[in-house]
A and B are shown apart, each in its own frame.
Chain A
């Protein structure tokens, strides 16, 4: 009996300590994440202009459907998502596979070099790329000297090339970062599997698609989802790549670098501020992120 009671007492104390340890983060998350996300939903049903706040219900969301800037911003990030994220993750996977080869020399040097871009500040490296890709800049010089191009490419002045520049910059910054996740995952795959495949006569390409990719599926899924969220909320790079290159309110030539986050920022702090409308935009982005993550989970699950 007394033993029983003591056990209950310990369990109660145990439970109390659990709450004590997590209390600080709960307060922080409640104030700085949950409150904003709920308030944002409420605010998205209003149109706010300065001190004027009028209830519009779904009005902001309907307005979004016809907002050509918003649609363009969405289109821009979706292009980056499909093209750049695919190339980057594929490259990262190849680097990781090559560096996982026990017979390869200078592994540490290659790994450090490829990972190094991930320690730069987003703003700093973007500005570096802006200077490298200027009209009479380094990249054009090199390409013209080698003889690949005759005329300088208008990297940051042409809508198409501006997006290409952004994608090159993003790939430079994030490939090594994703590679590290794959390398970590590859270490959990026993080398015997590859040796057995080798004996069975499987080529390296077959091994890559039949062993590496399927066994790394959870990590590939993880990196795909984080890259998707990262792409949907791109801000630092387009903002700084576009700055100073184009005058007026266009973000990059012909708004080719406009992203939802940049648009939200502009709606809040650059044009006449409309916090209600900005909240609606951000909610749509949250929904799109959730839907994309759900689809990615489904796809990764089904191919098992």
Chain B
């Protein structure tokens, strides 16, 4: 095959694949402006139902409240899990000892455990703590992230130890070294980890489904699932909800794209 022909095939293949990847995003935005019937028939042009769909979602499905719940849960999970797991990653990397390394390998194994295996005891635990149908019941188990500990440790291993040594000579306390010297200079690592934590909390489905029971505590993901599984769902409204749930992540992705890629790279480099 000639070189030119080969490249033509590659470009066609990549363009079709890229189109398939992006098309559902386009269709979802188109759908949010259309009537239910048109969505189900697969109409590909913009309609005039944008405001009607939004109003329906806002007035009848408590969109505002649901968004506040999701934002609240995500913020708490991101902040706490970044603090807890970055401290742990730093601790394992900078003060490595035999016993701590053994603990580290043990907790890494837990990455293999499917969440469903923890669900039943966690549910009972939350019941005992009186946290069923509360946001803290959703937030607490999502804070300790073994993956993020691993991710931070990998990234801290690149950190120049001389800076820490110099700070020690100056008499700085270890916690201060971490919070006022190391942490501010690892912004891109934190951004990448933050994206990971945000995505997993914003998108969480199974655990909130188990914990949250009342309408007013639902997250946007639970609301969409509920909305779409009714007997005669209004698909225009469903589309609007899907757009609204996806938008924050698209914004985060496009504004922090380079950290995103960096984050993925950082977790593979050994």
B167-187 interface (Cβ within 8 A of A): 174-175, 178
Do A43 and B242 touch across chains, with their CB atoms under 8 A apart?
no
B256-270 interface (Cβ within 8 A of A): 257, 261, 264-265, 268-270
Do A229 and B18 touch across chains, with their CB atoms under 8 A apart?
no
Do A113 and B21 touch across chains, with their CB atoms under 8 A apart?
yes
Q: Which chain B residue shows the least CB distance to A278?
A: B120
Supposing A21-B95, A244-B228, A244-B233 touch, asked if A176 and B144 sit within 8 A by C-beta, the answer is no
A32→B45 CA distance, assembly (Å): 48
Residues of B within 8 A of A136 (CB): 40-41
Q: Which chain B residue shows the least CB distance to A17?
A: B174
Supposing A229-B114, A286-B112 touch, asked if A120 and B249 sit within 8 A by C-beta, the answer is yes
Supposing A128-B242, A184-B268 touch, asked if A116 and B119 sit within 8 A by C-beta, the answer is no
Residue from the list B19, B22, B95, B110 in contact with A33, Cβ < 8 A: B110
Asked if A18 is an interface residue, CB under 8 A from chain B, the answer is yes
- The dominant DSSP class at the B interface is helix
A137→B31 CA distance, assembly (Å): 12
Residues of B within 8 A of A218 (CB): 270
A204→B124 CA distance, assembly (Å): 56
Residue from the list A113, A130, A131, A286 in contact with B31, Cβ < 8 A: A131
Q: Which chain A residue shows the least CB distance to B100?
A: A18
Asked if B230 is an interface residue, CB under 8 A from chain A, the answer is yes
Do A285 and B14 touch across chains, with their CB atoms under 8 A apart?
no
Asked if B76 is an interface residue, CB under 8 A from chain A, the answer is no
B-facing mask of A19-32, CB < 8 A → 1, else 0?
A: 11110111011011
Residue from the list B41, B119, B125 in contact with A264, Cβ < 8 A: B119
* Size class of the B contact interface (CB-based, 8 Å): 35 or more
Do A275 and B224 touch across chains, with their CB atoms under 8 A apart?
no
- Greatest chain B CB density within 10 A among A34, A113, A125 is at A113
Residue from the list A18, A120, A236 in contact with B91, Cβ < 8 A: A18
Residue from the list B42, B103, B120, B233 in contact with A268, Cβ < 8 A: B120
Supposing A29-B107, A128-B27, A244-B228 touch, asked if A36 and B116 sit within 8 A by C-beta, the answer is no
Asked if A68 is an interface residue, CB under 8 A from chain B, the answer is no
How far is the CB of A79 from the nearest CB of chain B, in Å? 18
Residues of B within 8 A of A25 (CB): 84-85, 87-88, 107, 144, 149
Do A137 and B22 touch across chains, with their CB atoms under 8 A apart?
no
Do B224 and A124 touch across chains, with their CB atoms under 8 A apart?
yes
Residue from the list B88, B95, B110, B120 in contact with A14, Cβ < 8 A: B95
Do A124 and B14 touch across chains, with their CB atoms under 8 A apart?
no
* Size class of the A contact interface (CB-based, 8 Å): 35 or more
Do B22 and A116 touch across chains, with their CB atoms under 8 A apart?
yes
Asked if B54 is an interface residue, CB under 8 A from chain A, the answer is no
Residues of A within 8 A of B22 (CB): 113, 116
Supposing A18-B95, A121-B221, A131-B40 touch, asked if A116 and B121 sit within 8 A by C-beta, the answer is no
Residues of B within 8 A of A39 (CB): 121, 124
Asked if A207 is an interface residue, CB under 8 A from chain B, the answer is no
A-facing mask of B102-116, CB < 8 A → 1, else 0?
A: 010001001111111
A136→B39 CA distance, assembly (Å): 10
Residues of A within 8 A of B103 (CB): 22, 26
Asked if A164 is an interface residue, CB under 8 A from chain B, the answer is no
Residues of A within 8 A of B238 (CB): 127, 131
Asked if A61 is an interface residue, CB under 8 A from chain B, the answer is no
Residue from the list B83, B118, B175, B270 in contact with A32, Cβ < 8 A: B118
A-facing mask of B41-58, CB < 8 A → 1, else 0?
A: 110100000000000000
Do A282 and B119 touch across chains, with their CB atoms under 8 A apart?
yes
Do A127 and B27 touch across chains, with their CB atoms under 8 A apart?
no
Asked if B75 is an interface residue, CB under 8 A from chain A, the answer is no
Asked if B146 is an interface residue, CB under 8 A from chain A, the answer is yes
Do A28 and B112 touch across chains, with their CB atoms under 8 A apart?
no
How far is the CB of B108 from the nearest CB of chain A, in Å? 11
Do A124 and B246 touch across chains, with their CB atoms under 8 A apart?
yes
Do A275 and B118 touch across chains, with their CB atoms under 8 A apart?
no
A32→B42 CA distance, assembly (Å): 44
Do B41 and A137 touch across chains, with their CB atoms under 8 A apart?
yes
Q: Which 7 A-B pairs have the closest CB atoms?
A: A21-B91, A138-B42, A28-B144, A18-B95, A243-B229, A282-B117, A233-B114
Known: A20-B175, A98-B13, A137-B41. 15 other contacts (CB 8 A): A22-B91, A32-B118, A32-B140, A32-B141, A33-B146, A123-B225, A137-B42, A139-B42, A141-B42, A181-B264, A235-B206, A244-B233, A268-B123, A282-B114, A289-B114
Interface residues of chain B, those whose CB is within 8 Å of chain A, are: 6, 10, 13-14, 17-22, 24-25, 27-28, 31, 39-42, 44, 83-85, 87-88, 90-92, 94-97, 100, 103, 107, 110-125, 140-141, 143-144, 146, 149, 174-175, 178, 199, 202-203, 205-206, 209-210, 221, 224-225, 228-231, 233, 235, 238-239, 242, 245-246, 249-250, 252-253, 257, 261, 264-265, 268-270
Interface residues of chain A, those whose CB is within 8 Å of chain B, are: 14-15, 17-22, 24-26, 28-29, 31-37, 39-40, 43, 95, 98-99, 101, 104, 109-110, 112-114, 116-117, 119-125, 127-132, 134, 136-139, 141-142, 172, 176, 180-181, 184-185, 204, 218-219, 222, 229, 232-233, 235-236, 239-240, 243-244, 260-261, 264-265, 268-269, 275, 278-279, 282-283, 285-286, 289-290, 293
